[in-house]
Amino acid sequence: MKNILALFSALILMISTLVPGIVATESDGYRINSVEVDGVTVFEKGVPTGAKINVERGETSIIEVVIEGNPDLQEEIDDVTVEAKIFGYEHGSISDETSIFTVQPGVTYRKVLRLEIPEDFEPTQDGKTLRITVSDNDNSVSQNFRVFVSEVRHRLNILDVIFNPGLQVESGSNLFSIVRIENLGEKKEENIKVSMSISELGLSNSVFIDELVNDRTENDRTRTRNDNEESSASSDELFLRLPKNAKGEYELKISVDYNRGNSVEEKTYILLVSPSKEPTTGETPSEVSTVVTVDTTKQEVEQGKGAVFKFMFANLGDASKTYTLDVTGVNDFGTYRVDPQSVTVAKDQTGELALFVAADEDASKGVKNFNVKVMEDTKVIKQASLSVDVKESKAVADPWSNIRTGLEVGFFILLIILVILGLVIAARRMGRKDNLEEPSNGTQSYY
């Protein structure tokens, strides 16, 4: 009899370890009666309802858990907590836990938890695991559910904003910003308007981003798409010229309008403006009429490939100005081109030139320096020392090799066809010759 009981216990233990979906829903002190997720009952009277749970990125899911103390016990249970947790988020934990409470025998308790679903939570076809756990110092009960993460149809996120020179500036100076935006929604967004404004000073500046695709579309290698399609992008440079009489703190707003103007994302910052420093006697304040910025001063390139340096101009003068780039030092290791060759910027507007630098296929590895003079007509207004770090080219098959092979095969096939045609033509000619030489009925006619 003892051997049978031992064998039965071992069998139960083996089944519990081999079937991970079996979880405890009741302990000696309490049990889970029901669970609701966003108003949908997924667990009732100790049994899963089979309902599928959908949660949206960027939203808050409300989870309601009802537990009941064991009416057969005589003692209360202290330090009980209820926790809800979704697994599978690689950048952190998605969980919420109640404060500790005491469970009385036969008493029912309702606990509400809130889970903040991250905007970058990656959806999967098989869903994620939601675990509800009720525990105390000695025991715990839990129940697992499958939740399916979905994207909001339209959702852009302001990922980051870079301010130059920062959020502490002097009156009469200029404030520049570049806004990084990502598409976390289901749909592709087009004609995205990015704005920087200080409403109290009546200042505003806007630029457009053509389009941003869904992040899953960008990563879908099975879909034929344009290589220029991206799920995130940086705006062109925005700038505001602060009045000379500005002073104190101002609300600075970055806004993104999309979905045909029906959706707006905003971020607000505090801009501290201090009075400009007056020049001492005998000094003349220098008037800066153009501000030039470069997106980066160093990039990595492979042999035979190139990189792009972006030069951005803000015309603070009273008339339009034309800017060009004079590049030296690139011919020692590669080639370059400027697109467009020049840019004309109206007053209080911005413009951009792109410098493409490519390393030769046989360029030596290492850092290569070159210089760029920024020209306003014939005047040098800025000099920049830039560099590229040339890396060894990765082995890539010659893209023309397949074409050459195809041409060679085609040539031989054509040659064979020509030979066959030649033989056919020769055979026909031989046949005609035989017909002409053959006598008619072995006789000859005389006239």
Q: Which CATH number characterizes residue 110's domain? A: 2.70.50.30
The chain-wide mean pLDDT, for the chain, equals 81
| Residue at 237 is within a domain | yes
CA distance 68 to 110: 9
Domain C-terminal end among 118, 150, 182: 150
Confidence at residue 278, expressed as pLDDT on a 0 to 100 scale: 60
Mean pLDDT over 271-296 rounds to 70
pLDDT of residue 11: 47
* Phi, psi at 373, each rounded to 5°: -100, 125
Nearest to 152 by CA among 52, 88, 60: 60
Secondary structure of residue 389 in the 3-state scheme: strand
Instruction: Find the distance separating the first CA and the last CA of the chain, reported in whole Å.
Output: 132
The reply to whether omega before 165 is within 30° of 0 (cis) is yes
Last residue of a domain, one of 355, 379, 394: 394
Q: How confident is the model at residue 255 (pLDDT cuts 50, 70, 90)?
A: very high
Buried b (16+ CB within 10 A) or exposed e, 233-263: bbbebbbbebeeebeeebebebbbbbbeeeb
Q: How confident is the model at residue 18 (pLDDT cuts 50, 70, 90)?
A: very low
Domain of residue 315, residue span? 288-394
Same domain, 145 and 159: no
Give me the number of domains the chain comprises: 3
The answer to whether residue 218 sits within a structural domain is yes
12-32 burial: b if 16+ Cβ within 10 Å, else e: eeeeeeeeeeeeebebebbbb
Q: Which single residue is written with the structure tokens 């899953």? A: 216
* 353 shares a domain with 265: no
**Gap between the Cα atoms of 105 and 76, Å rounded:** 6
At 406, is the pLDDT very low, low, confident or very high (cuts 50, 70, 90)?
low
Q: Which residues contact 248 (CB under 8 A, 6 or more apart)?
A: 272, 273
Q: What is the pLDDT of residue 83?
A: 95
Q: How much is the pTM?
A: 0.54
Specify if 409 maps to a domain: no
Predicted confidence (pLDDT) at residue 25 exceeds the cutoff of 70: no
Does 37 share its domain with 109? yes
State which of 277, 303, 323 marks the end of a domain. 277
Tokens found for residue 408: 């060679």
128-135 and 77-86 strand pairing: antiparallel
Task: Report the C-alpha gap between 78 and 101 in whole angstroms.
Answer: 6
- 64 part of a folded domain: yes
Residues 89, 23 within the same domain: yes
Residue 137 lies in a domain: yes
Q: Are residues 259 and 293 in the same domain?
A: no
Instruction: Assign residue 211 the CATH number of its domain.
Output: 2.60.40.10
Same-domain check for residues 31 and 129: yes
Smallest CA-to-CA distance from 302 within 399, 395, 397 is with: 395
* 45 and 144 in a common domain: yes
129: amino acid identity, one letter: T
Residue 290 pLDDT: 83
Confidence at residue 13, expressed as pLDDT on a 0 to 100 scale: 44
Task: Based on the fold, state whether residues 135 and 159 are members of the same structural domain.
Answer: no
Q: What is the pLDDT of residue 402?
A: 53
pLDDT value for 232: 86
At 428, the pLDDT band (50, 70, 90 cuts) reads low
Q: Is 3 part of a structural domain of the chain?
A: no
Confidence label for 202 from pLDDT (cuts 50, 70 and 90): very high
Q: Are both 311 and 241 inside the same structural domain?
A: no
pLDDT digits (tens, 9 = 90+) for 119-171: 888 887 788 999 999 999 988 999 999 999 888 888 888 989 999 888 999 98
Is the domain of 139 the same as that of 191?
no
Q: Out of 77-86, 102-111, 298-307, 429-438, pick the least confident.
A: 429-438
Q: Are 178 and 238 in contact (CB under 8 A)?
A: yes
Q: Are residues 34 and 145 in the same domain?
A: yes
Angle at CA 300, nearest 5°, toward 294 and 304?
115
Instruction: Report pLDDT for 224.
Output: 46
Do 231 and 177 sit in the same domain of this protein? yes
- pLDDT tops 60 at residue 281: no
